[in-house]
A and B are shown apart, each in its own frame.
Chain A
Amino acid sequence: MNNQQSTIDQVVNIQNLSHFFGEGKLKKQILFDIDLTLYSGEVIILKGPSGSGKTTLLTLMGGLRSAQSGNLQVFGEDLIGASKKKLVQTRRNIGYIFQAHNLLASLTARQNVQMSLELHSEIKASDIKQKAIALLESVGLGDHIDYYPQNLSGGQKQRVAIARALVAHPQMVLADEPTAALDSKSGRNIVELMQQLSRQQGCTILIVSHDNRILDVADRIVELEDGRITVNDEQ
C-alpha cells in the first residue's frame, strides 16, 4: 500500500479532523488534526491507550457521530455536518463488530444475520435466508443456525456477529476490541476469520484492539495517543 494509490481506492479519507466533547468551559478536545486514509481491502489495527480517542475516531468514521471540523470522507461522501439521513445511508455500507457481540437475544443466529440483509432492498427476499445460512456456514456455525445467542458460547456469538457484519458485503468493517471477551485461541480464530472473509470480499477492516497477539494479521498499524496519530506503519 502506498500513497500514490488513486482516490478510487480510498475508502476513508481524513484530513485535519478534530473533535470536541462538551460545551463552553467544559469543552474538551479529543482528536487533534487527524490525517488518515484507508484503502480498499486493507486490514488496519488501531492501537492506543484508553482515552486516546480510538473509539471516537471509529464512531466518526462509522457515521455514528456527527463530525465537527476538518475533512472526513467515507466512500467518497463528505460526512462533515452531514444530515442524519446521509449518516444512516453510510452506516448501511459498513459492518460493525462489537466487543460485546450485541446480538439480539430474541432472535436466532440466522435471524440476527438476516436483520443486516433486510436493510438492503436490492437483495431479493427469497435470497435472504439462503445468504444468511451460507454465511453462518462459512463461519463454521452451519449446525447452529437456529440457536438463540444465550445457547451459544462467547466465540460462537462473536462468529454470528462477524457473519452479521459481513453478510451484506459492506465496503468496510469496523471492529471494536472483537477479541477482548474471548480466550486467546478463540480470539485468534476470530481475527483470522475476519481477515479471511474480508479478503474474499475485498473489504477494508479497521480493528481497534489492545491485543498484541493479533497484530500480525494487520497490513498497517496505526497508533493513537492523546488524540494524535503517533504511528502509521505498514507491516
Chain B
Amino acid sequence: MKTPLSWLQLSHEKVRLLIALAGIGFADMLMFVQLGFQNALFDSSVKFHKAVDGDVFLMSPQSDALGFTKTFSDRRLYESLAIDEVESVVPVYLNFGSWKNPVNRKTRTMLAIGFNPANNILNLPGVAENLDQVKLADFVLFDDKSRIEFGPIPELLKQKPIVNTELDSRDVKVSGLFSLGASFAADGNIITSDTNFLRLFPERKRGLIDIGVINLKPGANLEVALAEIRRKLPQDVDIFSKEEFIQQEISYWQDSTSIGFIFTLGTAIGFVVGTVIVYQILYTDVANHLSEYATLKAMGYKDSYFIILVFQEAVILAVLGFIPGVVVATGLYSLAAGATALPLFMTTNRAIAVLILTIIMCCISGSIAVRKLSAADPADIF
C-alpha cells in the first residue's frame, strides 16, 4: 500500500484538522437545518391532503392553499355524481376560529375542519374511533399535536371526560383527540361535523364549501374519470387528482411565498460558507507544503499525484466533517421538533443528499486550491 500522504498530512496537525472539521460540520448543520425546515414545511402542509380519503378534489380557482381557501357551491360537487365513475362525494368546510385556552383563557387562531361524520374521510390516528362524538351538538375533536398554547387538552381529558372551552366565543366541548400536527398555516386543528361547523361560524352558509372530495367506484380509471369530470363541470371549479391536490399545496409554499425561497437561500449560504472554509483549509495546506511538494516533484512525482492528493484531502475533510454535522443536526431537529410541533427528523435521503453536497462543496474548493500547486517548482528548491 502506498503511503497515505493526504491523510497523514491532515492528521499531522490535529488542532487544525479539528477546526477544519468544526467548520465543515457547521456548514453541514446549516444545510441540514434549512433542508429540514423546508421539508417539515412541506410535510406538515400536505399532511391533511395525504390523509383525506378521496380520488378527485374540487376547489375554488381562487383558493391558494389550505387555510386560504375561497368557497364554492357544493352544487358542483353533486353535479359530479352524474358521472358514471363517481361513487360518492363529501363536502368539506374549513375556517379559522379563535380558540380559548381553557387553562389561561388566552385565545389563539386554529383551523376548524367540518364534514359529515356519517363517513370518515380522514385517515388520521384517532379520527375513526372518535368521529361519532361530533354528531352531538358543539362537540369537537382536538388535534393533540397542536401547539401547547392551545392548552393541555390531552391531559385535561385524562382527568375528565369532557373539556369545555370556547371557539369564536361559542361554547364547545372536547371529548376526543386526533393527531394531525401544526403546519405553517395552522398552529392547531379541530374536527367537527358540518352541522356544528355552521353553528360555530354563523357567517358561513350551508352549501358554500371549501373542498369537495369525490370518491370513484372501485376499479374506475382515474384518468378517464378526471377527464369526464373536467368535461362535465363548469370552469368555475378547479379539479385535481390527489397527486395534483398535494402538489399544488407544495408549489404554493415553494413558489408563491417567500418561505421556499428563504430555505433554498439558507441552504445555498451553508454551501457557500462550507466552500469558503474548505478552500481556506486546502489553500493553507498546499501553501504550507509547497517546498515538500517541490521536493517530491524533484524526486519524480507527477503533477497528477498532487492534484489527486488535494482532492483526496477534500473528500476526507468532507466525510469527516459530515459526521459532527449530522450528529449536531439530529440533535437540533429533535429540539426544534419539540419547540415547533413540526415533523422535523433526520431522514436517510436527506443525510445522503447533504453528504453529496458536502463532497461537491469540498471538490469545488479543491479545484480552486489545486491552482496553487503550480507554485511548487522543483527548480526553485536548490
- Contact in complex: B3, A91 (CB < 8 Å): no
In the complex, per-residue mask of A48-63: 1 if CB is within 8 Å of any chain B CB, else 0:
0000000100110010
Question: Chain A residues near B13 (CB, 8 Å)?
Answer: 106
B298 at the interface (CB under 8 A from A): yes
Once A and B bind, how many residue pairs between them come within 8 Å at the CB atom? 67
A107 at the interface (CB under 8 A from B): yes
Please name the residue on chain B nearest to A120 by beta carbon.
B300
Cross-chain contact of A114 among B3, B291, B302 (Cβ < 8 A): B3
- Contact in complex: B301, A119 (CB < 8 Å): yes
A105–B11 Cα distance when bound, in Å, is 12
- Contact in complex: B299, A119 (CB < 8 Å): yes
B269 at the interface (CB under 8 A from A): no
B12 at the interface (CB under 8 A from A): yes
Given A105-B292, A107-B5: A115 in contact with B299 (beta carbons within 8 A): yes
A176–B382 Cα distance when bound, in Å, is 6
- Contact in complex: A96, B299 (CB < 8 Å): yes
- Contact in complex: B299, A59 (CB < 8 Å): no
Give A8 Cβ to nearest chain B Cβ, in Å. Answer: 23
Chain A residues within 8 Å of chain B by Cβ, number: 29
A64 at the interface (CB under 8 A from B): yes
- Contact in complex: B292, A104 (CB < 8 Å): yes
Please name the residue on chain B nearest to A119 by beta carbon.
B300
- Contact in complex: A116, B299 (CB < 8 Å): yes
- Contact in complex: A59, B5 (CB < 8 Å): no
B9 at the interface (CB under 8 A from A): yes
- Contact in complex: B5, A91 (CB < 8 Å): no
Question: Chain B residues near A94 (CB, 8 Å)?
Answer: 300
- Contact in complex: B292, A125 (CB < 8 Å): no
Question: Chain A residues near B292 (CB, 8 Å)?
Answer: 102, 104-105
Main secondary structure of the interface of A (DSSP, over half): mixed
Cross-chain contact of B9 among A58, A106, A116, A119 (Cβ < 8 A): A106
Question: Chain B residues near A64 (CB, 8 Å)?
Answer: 298, 378-379, 382
Main secondary structure of the interface of B (DSSP, over half): helix
- Contact in complex: A106, B300 (CB < 8 Å): no
Give A89 Cβ to nearest chain B Cβ, in Å. Answer: 7
A88–B302 Cα distance when bound, in Å, is 7
A99–B382 Cα distance when bound, in Å, is 7
A227–B295 Cα distance when bound, in Å, is 25
Question: Chain A residues near B289 (CB, 8 Å)?
Answer: 104
Question: Chain A residues near B2 (CB, 8 Å)?
Answer: 118
Question: Chain A residues near B11 (CB, 8 Å)?
Answer: 106
Please name the residue on chain B nearest to A92 by beta carbon.
B300
Given A92-B300, A119-B300: A106 in contact with B12 (beta carbons within 8 A): yes
Given A59-B379, A106-B12: A89 in contact with B300 (beta carbons within 8 A): yes
B8 at the interface (CB under 8 A from A): yes
Question: Chain B residues near A32 (CB, 8 Å)?
Answer: none
Question: Chain A residues near B12 (CB, 8 Å)?
Answer: 105-106
Given A102-B381, A105-B292, A125-B1: A91 in contact with B8 (beta carbons within 8 A): no
- Contact in complex: A65, B379 (CB < 8 Å): yes
Give A198 Cβ to nearest chain B Cβ, in Å. Answer: 17
A98 at the interface (CB under 8 A from B): yes
Most buried by B among A62, A115, A208: A115
Given A64-B379, A88-B302, A107-B3: A115 in contact with B8 (beta carbons within 8 A): no
- Contact in complex: B299, A111 (CB < 8 Å): no
A-facing residues in B239-296 (Cβ within 8 Å) = 289, 291-292, 295-296
A164–B302 Cα distance when bound, in Å, is 18
Question: Chain B residues near A106 (CB, 8 Å)?
Answer: 5, 8-9, 11-13
- Contact in complex: A58, B299 (CB < 8 Å): no
Give A87 Cβ to nearest chain B Cβ, in Å. Answer: 9
Given A55-B382, A58-B382, A115-B3: A91 in contact with B298 (beta carbons within 8 A): yes
A176–B380 Cα distance when bound, in Å, is 12
Most buried by A among B292, B296, B299: B299
Please name the residue on chain A nearest to B301 by beta carbon.
A119
A-facing residues in B365-380 (Cβ within 8 Å) = 378-379
Please name the residue on chain A nearest to B294 by beta carbon.
A102
- Contact in complex: A62, B298 (CB < 8 Å): yes
Please name the residue on chain B nearest to A65 by beta carbon.
B379
A98–B8 Cα distance when bound, in Å, is 23
Give A175 Cβ to nearest chain B Cβ, in Å. Answer: 10
| A-B CB contact pairs (8 Å), 30 listed | A59-B379, A59-B382, A64-B298, A64-B378, A88-B300, A88-B301, A91-B298, A91-B378, A92-B300, A94-B300, A98-B295, A102-B291, A102-B292, A102-B381, A104-B5, A104-B292, A105-B12, A105-B292, A106-B11, A107-B3, A114-B3, A115-B3, A115-B5, A115-B299, A118-B3, A119-B299, A119-B300, A164-B299, A176-B382, A208-B382
Question: Across chains A and B, which 9 residue pairs bring their CB atoms closest together, nearest first?
Answer: A106-B12, A92-B300, A91-B300, A102-B295, A65-B379, A64-B378, A64-B379, A176-B382, A106-B9
User: A-contacting residues of B (Cβ < 8 Å)?
Assistant: 1-3, 5, 8-9, 11-13, 289, 291-292, 295-302, 378-379, 381-382
* Additional pairs, 8, CB under 8 Å, beyond known A64-B298, A64-B378, A88-B301: A64-B379, A94-B300, A99-B382, A106-B8, A106-B12, A107-B3, A119-B300, A119-B301
